[in-house]
Amino acid sequence: MDLKNKVVIVTGSRRGIGKAIALTLAKAGANVVVSDINLDDCNKVVEEIKTIGGNALAVKADISNPEEVKDVVKSTVKRFGKVDILVNNAGIYMQKSLTDVTEQDFDKILDINLKGVFLCSKAVVPEMIKQGKGKIINITSIAGQVGFANSSAYCASKGAIINITRELALELAQYKINVNAIGPGVIETAMTKDLLKDEATKETLLANIPLNRIGKPEDIANAALFLASNNADYITGITLFVDGGWLTH
Ligand SMILES: NC(=O)c1ccc[n+]([C@@H]2O[C@H](COP(=O)([O-])OP(=O)(O)OC[C@H]3O[C@@H](n4cnc5c(N)ncnc54)[C@H](O)[C@@H]3O)[C@@H](O)[C@H]2O)c1
């Protein structure tokens, strides 16, 4: 799949799934904007992309801050002239019971996981309309489709991403902007490190995964590459679950 001359913004791409998406899309020929809250880490990813012959730019931004989000788009257009693809990947997880989770925790998770998707999409769409085409890929979760205990705010935010994906697909189809989501299962990243450290928890998780392995960031990146490519031009509004079969039972 060829993304030559395409310009992609990947939020939350200093590490984990976002980094794998940035590298995979860069290998396919895209110019990649690596954006996250830590510029040093973003620059390291940019260097990695350059060593494989790619082209990339690091931009620091907190996706819950509308001004910083607008600056990412401005910097992208200044450097690469346009935006073709947005991957709304940045997100946070917090495992707390309803008794322990505070209103501030709830607001923070919704602000980053959900409002971030809204703000970034709102900021890039005018550029995509100018191109007469575009692709938005939102990273949700299996926790947006089924309940996970002690994750009320996270489940709410990820469930909402699945439906805002459908809504944006409907609203933006007239501009040939495809909006889809990817729903990862359990993927080995910093987000799940503590969970997976505990052998008993890992065994319980594996018992729910018919393909019997924890996912890798590259499993999600491969799905993102497909949805970003012209091969997915007739797909919009869907959530592609990449979960080793978790949601089959
Ligand atoms: N790892 C999993 O098992 C799993 C499963 C389902 C969904 N997801 C989703 O995949 C995405 C990536 O997660 P990951 O597993 O790579 O975890 P991660 O913690 O390694 O990556 C998340 C990235 O988002 C960035 N980020 C956090 N808050 C931000 C903000 N306000 N502005 C900009 N960037 C911010 C972090 O700095 C980090 O680089 C998240 O949306 C997550 O909810 C992960």
pLDDT tens, residue by residue, 88-126: 999 999 999 999 999 999 999 999 999 999 999 999 999
Q: Residue whose CA is closest, atom 41 of ligand 1?
A: 91
Give the pLDDT confidence score for residue 101 in this predicted structure. Answer: 98
| CA angle, residues 135, 43, 48, in degrees to nearest 5 | 80
93 is catalytic: no
Confidence of residue 145 (pLDDT cuts 50, 70, 90): very high
Give the pLDDT confidence score for residue 87 in this predicted structure. Answer: 99
Q: What's the pTM value of the predicted model, to 2 decimals?
A: 0.99
Give ligand 1 pocket residues (Cβ under 6 A).
11-12, 14-18, 36-37, 62-64, 89-93, 112, 139, 141, 184, 186-187, 189-192
Give the pLDDT confidence score for residue 149 in this predicted structure. Answer: 97
As a whole number, the mean pLDDT across the chain is: 98
pLDDT tens, residue by residue, 49-85: 999 999 999 999 999 999 999 999 999 999 999 999 9
- Ligand 1 atom with the smallest distance to the CA of 90 is 24
Choosing from 93, 154, 175, 234, the catalytic residue is 154
Q: Domains plus CATH for the chain?
A: 7-242 (3.40.50.720)
Q: How far is CA 75 from CA 7, 58, 115, in A?
A: 12, 9, 21
Secondary-structure percent of the chain, ordered helix, strand, coil, rounded to 5: 50, 15, 30
Q: Residue 54 corresponds to which tokens in the numbers above?
A: 């790619």
